[in-house]
Amino acid sequence: MKICCIGAGYVGGPTMAMIAKQCPEISVHVVDLNQSRIDAWNSDELPVYEPGLYEVVREARGRNLTFSTNVDQAIAEADMIFIAVNTPTKHFGMGAGRAANLEFIEKCARQIAKVSEGHKIVVEKSTLPVRTAEAVKRILSSSSNGATFDVLSNPEFLAEGTAIEDLLDPDRVLIGGESQAAVKALADVYGQWVAREKILTTNLWSSELSKLTANAFLAQRVSSINAISALCEETEADIDEVSRAIGTDSRIGPKFLKASVGFGGSCFQKDILNLVYLCEHFGLREVADYWEQVVIMNDYQKRRFAERICRTMFNTVSDKKIAIWGFAFKKDTNDTRESAAIYVCRDLLRERARLVIYDPKVSKETIVSELLTALSDLSGTISETDRELVQSNVTVVNDAYDAANNAHAIAVLTEWDEFRELDYERIYDTMQKPAFVYDGRNILDRQKLTKIGFEIFAIGKSN
């Protein structure tokens, strides 16, 4: 059997590497239009940082795992084609800022229709609005070579930073489709390492909608606990104690109750906005408003964090040096998409703070590019003043100590483990006084830091 995957990103790359590792008899060909991304997949510096990923890729690459830009050839040879391209929020035209941009999905479907012969199974891996498979099926049915297709929905539930664990031992694998034979063919692939009872099958539309719903529920939990964190800061209740207390209720459960500076990542916001757009489309105003509030609360949490920094630093951060620790949207990934750090930094830059940023896995180019985008309008235009602001007020360094040196404040924006184990006496000595710490992830030892002399502010903790 031959599998092709279109899209060598955070989803396509790790997922296909795992299939290739677990199914040595299946030939897996991952293709992408982006030559430099493919070159990176073929090198020792993978484009995606994920613990354990390199070992999996190294085992399968050259055996039954190939990365290339030969899109047509890979499609033509495959029995099963996964579509794992990006579906970002549209930033133009109808539904701008809400709807998913399905341009890349549609282009893939057209390419598959053009070069396919015989029968193929097409698998939607990307997260898509419910009923996208309808459009995919219609485009595929226009194939001029007489090719026939079954379309399946097989959303990916891996979380970045734990992708390999999640792929090895998923809570469930979801397959939606009409053709029993096609569903079985895909279930047989996962069945090589996933227990059969964990492979759920549904109709196409339930599968598409379940992915959006799962992400909406997860994001809702984070926004719910973050909403309570604001109240904690006013009332001397402690958000970590509240989380523990409610999480022991087996109906609520302990996971995804960690208050933070706000959720980020390529999925949560995009998928909720997508859900909101769909509900609006079907005239479900109340349902749309209900879910939109999860994103509104998240924006509030990010804004509130930057405002708290300004307020507590005597109402001005202008020309003050602030060390930004962490820029990725969570630990153990180099992904910065929708990271809370982007928006906190943007707000601080607008207050004319000088930022010295350190992240163990994110490059300077990525940080600068994210900040320029955040300061641009929807059409991508940025004012000369804002561009200069990024040039003059942002420095990226290779070490947390360097970032903190001579700083007025430290803001922890990603929960990298290394931040827990630094020499805080040394850091305190090198900082301006009072030395402020804003822990946006509640990972630091407040008592210890307070004893050293720091003024520490954390999420959901009153001072």
Q: Which residues bind ligand ADP (CB under 6 A)?
A: 6-12, 31-34, 37, 71, 84-86, 104, 107-108, 126, 266
Q: Rounded to the nearest whole angstrom, what is the least distance from the CB of residue 21 to ligand ADP in the complex?
A: 18
93 marked as part of a ligand binding site: no
292 binds, among ligand UDX, ligand ADP, none (CB under 5 to 8 A by kind): none
151 or 317, CB closer to ligand ADP?
Answer: 151
> In this structure, which amino acid lies at residue 357?
I
The residue of the chain with the least Cβ separation from ligand ADP equals 9
Q: Which residue's entry shows tokens 């994103």? A: 295
345 catalytic per annotation: no
95 marked as part of a ligand binding site: no
Of the candidates 52, 82, 72, the residue with the CA atom closest to the CA atom of residue 117: 72
Q: Rounded to the nearest whole angstrom, what is the least distance from the CB of residue 107 to ligand ADP in the complex?
A: 4
Q: Quick one: which segment of 47-55, 105-113, 253-261, 303-311 binds ligand UDX (CB under 6 A)?
A: 253-261
157 interacts with ligand UDX by CB under 6 A: yes
The alpha carbon of residue 358 and the mean position of all alpha carbons in its chain are separated, in whole angstroms, by: 19
Q: What is the C-alpha to C-alpha distance for residues 263 and 223, in angstroms, rounded to an integer?
A: 8
Instruction: Give the torsion sign (CA, 370, 372, 374, 377).
Output: negative
Identified catalytic residue from 4, 23, 267, 279: 267
326 marked as part of a ligand binding site: no
Q: How long, in residues, is the chain?
A: 463
Listing DSSP states for 51-82 in one string gives: TTHHHHHHHHBTTTEEEES-HHHHHHH-SEEE
290 binds, among ligand UDX, ligand ADP, none (CB under 5 to 8 A by kind): none
264 interacts with ligand UDX by CB under 6 A: yes
Q: What is the C-alpha to C-alpha distance for residues 22 and 452, in angstroms, rounded to an integer?
A: 51
Is the distance from CB of 265 to CB of 338 less than 8 angstroms?
yes
Q: Which residue of 100, 121, 218, 407 would you call a contact of ligand UDX, by CB under 6 A?
A: 218
92 or 217, CB closer to ligand UDX?
Answer: 217
Q: Mapping DSSP to helix (H, G, I), strand (E, B) and coil, where does residue 310 land?
A: helix
Cβ burial of 265 (10 Å; 0-12, 13-18, 19+) is buried
Catalytic site positions:
267
* Footprint of ligand UDX (CB under 6 A): 156-160, 215, 218, 222, 256-258, 260, 263-265, 267-268, 329-330
Binding annotation for substrate: 156-160, 211-215, 251, 258-264, 329-330, 441
